[in-house]
Amino acid sequence: MNTFKNIYFLSVATLFVVYIFLYISNTLLTDSSAYLYIGSQINLGKVPYLDMFDHKGPLLYFVNAFPFFIGGSWKSIYLIEGCLLTIVTILLFNIFSKLNYQQYKYFLTSIFLISFLLIFNGGNLPETYIFLILSICYLVVFYFVENDQIDAIKNTSLRKIFFWLGFAIGLIALIKISNIAGIIFLTIFFGYQKKGVDNSLLLFSLAGAMMPIIPTIAWLYSNGALDEFINQYFIYNFFYIEDEVLLIRITNLLILIANFFLLPVNFLSIILIGIVGLKEIKIKSDKWILAFFFVLAIDFLSQIISGKGIQHYLLITIPSSIVLIAMLIKNNILKFPERIKTFKSFFIIILIFSSYRITEDLFNFSTYSTINENRKEQIRYLLSNNKPLEKIIIDSSNAWLYLQANKESASKYFTNIALKSNFLNAKAEHISMINAEKPQIIVSRFCHKNNQENCYRELNNILKKSYTKDEVIGDMEFWQLN
């Protein structure tokens, strides 16, 4: 098992290298920068949905406000996320150590980390935090199942477990509500495994779920943002789901399915079943293997609803998949150790491929960092031409410019997600805010490549009437107020 042990230490080292790189290089990807911008505005007293348009859950924005609340840089989000991931990794390793998985703990932890790093897309995404929450919940349930302690748990302790499972459901609902189905299924299934227990356990889960939800809804209501929350978090997301033609939706589904099966933790599960033999797996599988199989299926199916086929959506399938592969190893009637060399060969091949992909991702991340000369020049232009915190307009989904140049948006539509679809007449409201604020600088994207035809007409009219194009840097042009 020295091979697995060495790979484990290499995986942990890679995790630290990746997060240190993100921190040092000032990497800000498109989605992450939007959440951090909202977090920075919350710290200034603004209210999400009311003052900034976005369609994710409020808890995600509160997490992104934390680096600013403690007086740190936005880059602290990488330190926070890295620490949380380290805690989850330690939990996973310790649980496998205590459950007679001594010879497999290095392999299981390694494949968990490698799978995460392959699709985490720079981190600080809704799926990142849901991945962490689900990992803790699924591992805790797995611990009691594998330790044969379900019937030995006292009712008082059991109620606490279900309360915290419900609390986790509430947290996930406040990040991305479409991702709660798998953990709800597992909670209900878990509730009916202890003999003599009534439905009151599920009421404790319900109470736990309400703990984070009720204060959050009350806060939004007290700040006059509840209607906008409903519009953006529910109505817009349904609109977002429908905004794909059938052919593209099918293509994206096929891509997502391919990525799902190529994800190391899932690919190795298939290899394991092949090595052990599907017939043998069926004979020896128990209800908990089937339960986690259904959880994995539900978590995957919940990611195809949008029809987008985005790879990092699969992050939430890793926790149930790692538990499932651990259970498959335990239930293989000693066939796995006999064929460990074959399995190890597949694992090393996957590791080589994964190393290449992770390295390639780091190069891609660098284009979203200050290593990119165009990005550095764009930041420098705004810093030299404007006062700190003065309002500007960036007419694209490049919220990183607000953060790195220390600026605020003159409009609640700081990205173009609502403008592209003109959701609830967003363009008219956006233009009205620009006319009212008259920002000193408007940053537009791609307009210079085709005589501004790529910009929508209303913004073009404002630029032609009141602004002069001052400079073009990379794919952005900078307009100054006349």
Host domain of residue 420: 373-481
pLDDT at 148 over 70: no
pLDDT band at 223 (very low <50, low <70, confident <90, very high): very high
pLDDT of residue 133: 98
User: Within 10 A of 435 (CB to CB), how many other CB atoms are there?
Assistant: 11
DSSP for 283-334? Answer: HH--HHHHHHHHHHHHHHHTTSTT----GGGGGGGHHHHHHHHHHHHHTSTT
Specify whether 361 is located in the same domain as 471.
no
136: buried, middle or exposed (CB in 10 Å: 19+, 13-18, 0-12)?
Answer: middle
Specify whether 359 is located in the same domain as 415.
no
Q: Is 378 helix (H, G, I), strand (E, B) or coil?
A: helix
Write the pLDDT tens digit of every residue in 307-349. Answer: 788 999 999 999 999 998 888 877 764 455 556 666 677 778 8
pLDDT band at 260 (very low <50, low <70, confident <90, very high): very high
Specify whether 354 is located in the same domain as 384.
no
Write the pLDDT tens digit of every residue in 54-89. Answer: 999 999 999 999 999 998 899 999 999 999 999 999
Contacts of 395 (CB under 8 A, 6+ apart): 416, 442, 443, 444, 445, 455, 459
Specify whether 221 is located in the same domain as 161.
yes
Mean pLDDT value across residues 402-428: 93
Give how far Cα 280 sits from Cα of 108, 326, 377, Å.
Answer: 22, 16, 61
Specify whether 387 is located in the same domain as 268.
no
Cα torsion through 388, 392, 397, 399, rounded to 10: 10
Specify whether 317 is located in the same domain as 392.
no
Specify whether 199 is located in the same domain as 318.
yes
DSSP for 66-132? Answer: HHHHTT--TTHHHHHHHHHHHHHHHHHHHHHHHTT-TTTHHHHHHHHHHHHHHH-TTS-SHHHHHHH
pLDDT of residue 194: 64
pLDDT of residue 453: 47
Q: Do strands 441-445 and 467-473 pair parallel, antiparallel, or not at all (unpaired)?
A: unpaired
Last residue of a domain, one of 319, 343, 366: 366
Cα torsion through 369, 374, 380, 385, rounded to 10: -130
pLDDT at 149 over 80: no
Mean pLDDT value across residues 419-423: 89
Q: Are residues 122 and 36 in contact, defined by beta-carbon separation less than 8 angstroms?
A: no
Last residue of a domain, one of 366, 397, 426: 366
Specify whether 115 is located in the same domain as 207.
yes
Strand partners, 409: 392
Specify whether 32 is located in the same domain as 128.
yes
pLDDT at 352 over 60: yes
Specify whether 83 is located in the same domain as 232.
yes
Mean pLDDT value across residues 399-405: 94
Q: In what order do the strands lie in the sheet with 408-409?
A: 408-409, 391-395, 441-445, 476-481, 467-473
Among residues 201, 57, 190, 22, the alpha carbon closest in space to that of 130 is found at: 57
CA-CA-CA-CA torsion sign (59, 63, 69, 74): negative
Specify whether 415 is located in the same domain as 447.
yes
Say which residue the tokens 């890679």 belong to.
14
pLDDT at 243 over 90: no
Percentage of residues of the chain with pLDDT beyond 90: 61
Specify whether 414 is located in the same domain as 298.
no
442 membership: H or E segment, kind and range: strand 441-445
pTM recorded for the entire structure: 0.94
pLDDT at 170 over 80: yes
pLDDT at 277 over 80: no
**Total domains, the chain:** 2
Of residues 454 and 41, which shows the higher confidence score? 41
Percentage of residues of the chain with pLDDT beyond 70: 88
Mean pLDDT value across residues 107-136: 95
Tell me which of 22-31, 103-112, 335-344 is least confident: 335-344
User: Within 10 A of 56 (CB to CB), how many other CB atoms are there?
Assistant: 22
Last residue of a domain, one of 366, 394, 424: 366
